[in-house]
Chain A
Amino acid sequence: MYFLRPRPSNPVWSSLKSQKFSKNWCRQLSQVQGPLETEDDWTDFQQTRTSLKTLTDAMSQYGSEQTSQWSLRDSLHRPAKDATLSALLASGAHFGHAASRMNPNFLPYAYGTRAGITLIDLDHTLPLLRRAAKVVRAVAANDGQIVFIGTRPDIRPVVQRAAQRLGSQGFHVGDRWLPGTLTNKWQMFGHETVRSKRIIPDLVILLNPIQNMNAIQECALSNVPTIAIVDSNVDPRIVMYPIPANDESPRTAEIITGVLSIAGREGIAIREAELQRMRLAVDTAWEDFHKMHELQGERPTEDGRPRDLNAVGFDY
């Protein structure tokens, strides 16, 4: 960190001159002070730090134009709508498990073997991911309940954000899936809850299927469709819509879950738009009905009798 000597002719510097840019400012920042006693000490401490930020902010107009606002946590908080091959490769989605552990049913999705591990063919992953996204979109558009299951600590925030994106239709399980959640629901949730709320979900998405075989089994018994990220040591037939990819990489999980949850959000938006259109259609139809009714009442009848407005059937 270097210290620039202020030049009075420069307008930027003249405005900054009013602040505390003493000669010992550099030393102040780097030096270890004694303990801060009063509130004024704390304010001074904050001001010393603020002065550096003010300086960098003032100098930023002389630097290069920062066009990309990329942040390290963007893949979690702002995932992409569509997964690209390069993004999946960069996240290590193509790394499978040891070649000796490869499940023979995984062979269609395997690209080959290198350095003793199975490589996953991402040319199969992308269309399968898109297919799964369509399923999620359709289920969400039909007011379906979608559960994201990711039971490792590194993918816990991923499933949480994904469920948040789906609003009231999104659910997540970040810790252990309790066996019997679906098959033993009467005991698990109690009679009142089972009678009053929707318990069986409409779609279950698993990020680590090997650790959640209980959940897969229960979904199969309860006729719940499943989507899962299957790795090379897993039989892809255990779920309805497998997505062959690396299940151990959190970045891959973020990309795939991001695509699926954004598709779900789109489905909810489609449903909202439909409901809005239908409401509008019904309202305008009723308006037309009332208008016709009024016009009918004003027209004179052939035989002079008063018109019966409650009669159904218009003669127009």
Chain B
Amino acid sequence: MNILRSQICSVLRRPLYRQLTTTARPFVPPAQLVFHDNLYVPGAKELDDSTVEALVGETNEQEPEGDEEDPDDDRDKPHPDSPNFYTGRPSYYDNIIELQNAISRTRGTLQRLHLLPLPEFARKSLQPMPTVWKTPEEMTTDFETNMTISRYRRVTTLLNELNEYLRIATTAGYADVADRIGSIISIFESGKKEAFLSRGIRKPVLLDQHGRSYTFGKRKTSAARVWMIPVKSSTHETISDVNVEEVFGLSNEPKRSPVNVTVSTILVNNIPIAEYFPQPVDRERIVRPLKIAGVLGKYNVFTLVRGGGTTGQSGAIAHGIAKGIFAHEPETGVVLKRAKLLRRDPRMVERKKTGLAKARKRYTWVKR
């Protein structure tokens, strides 16, 4: 150290370095004051290697090259990028902090716009915005850390809060705020969002060029293909429609407009329904959806049914007819859903089990 001190003193006499060394040296703990071949002067980094060697000379031996950790070697290297470097999961915590900042910024903006806090009546009128976030596996690749349930939940809680603010901003009509939130949220949204949100939603049945609907019904082991077409109603008046007293102006009752009742046909496997289903309970089952929807004589029905017995086939046809009515008149959906006619009845014949006589029937219990 004395050698280095004397070297420094000789340097100090040169005019160029006088200004560099007239700085107040701050207190540094002794452990930090390690003298190696790098000259320890405040601002020594500004001196290039050639100047340092000229000052110090080749007094110290060369540093051994290898993989040993040398604390002073580190001082030339740059700082790590992320402030979360020492957590071991920098990108995960960086994203968490980004989301938290976005939430607080958006909250402030919405408060200034008087959209927060939102009263209950306003919250009910927000447009629904269902979202599908990335799966934990997808986030694992994004964040370079294993997404456990707790970590995933932490991220999705923040994302759901941001989504709420997005709902408020879009419903209130602030497109720029909504765009900014949307750009952040889109990073975390799953690519399969459309597929996921449309799952379980039935494809709408389209009518062909003749106005027919083609639907499918199932019950037990029967399957029915159902075509329905509206009956073309004729507007001619029949004799039974005319009231003689009214025509001569003799009755006091108000003139009632005649109700046009059309006659429809139901064919099953090209056989009229009365012939195919001799039992009235099967015919009732088939006609029930038409009755509930109030379109009893409105549609002609042609069905091809296969498999099962009378109950299964009539149930399948009823299912198909209900779907057909919904295709022609979507307003009847509520009524048919309440009557559970649009639902494929999941009840199937239960299998026989070993040790039992039938599916549920047990053999007679014997005491001994």
Contacts and interface: CB of A to CB of B under 8 A. Distances in A.
A141 B71 contact: no
A300 B121 CA distance: 95
Interface stretch (B73-81, B280-288, B351-359): B73-81
A113 to B, nearest CB: 34
B258 interface: no
Interface string B186-199: 00000000000000
B20 A278 contact: yes
B13 to A, nearest CB: 15
Interface string A20-63: 00000000000011111101011101100110010000000000
Question: Taking chain A's interface residues, is the majority helix, strand, or loop, or is none over half, making it mixed?
Answer: helix
Given A37-B125, A197-B77, A274 B23 contact: yes
Interface in A259-300: 267, 270, 274-275, 277-279, 281-282, 285
A279 B69 CA distance: 32
A121 interface: no
A145 interface: yes
B120 interface: yes
B199 to A, nearest CB: 29
B75 A198 contact: yes
B83 interface: yes
A147 B86 contact: yes
A274 B26 CA distance: 12
A196 interface: yes
B113 interface: yes
B143 interface: no
How many A residues are at the interface, by size bracket?
35 or more
Contact of A200 (B26, B71, B93, B113): B71
B240 interface: no
A174 interface: yes
B43 interface: yes
A137 B79 contact: no
A138 B27 contact: yes
B135 interface: no
A33 B125 CA distance: 11
Given A42-B172, A46-B115, A50-B114, A36 B28 contact: no
Nearest to A289: B16
Nearest to B18: A281
Contacts of A223: 31, 71
A275 B31 contact: no
B9 to A, nearest CB: 20
Given A46-B114, A134-B27, 10 more contacts: A33-B121, A37-B125, A143-B75, A160-B97, A172-B86, A174-B87, A175-B87, A197-B77, A198-B74, A285-B19
Interface of A: 32-37, 39, 41-43, 45-46, 49-50, 53, 134-135, 137-139, 141-143, 145, 147, 160, 163-164, 168-175, 177-178, 181, 188, 193, 196-202, 223, 225, 240, 267, 270, 274-275, 277-279, 281-282, 285
19 contacts: A39-B173, A42-B172, A138-B28, A139-B28, A141-B26, A142-B26, A143-B45, A163-B83, A171-B86, A173-B86, A174-B93, A177-B86, A198-B74, A199-B80, A200-B69, A201-B86, A202-B32, A279-B46, A281-B20
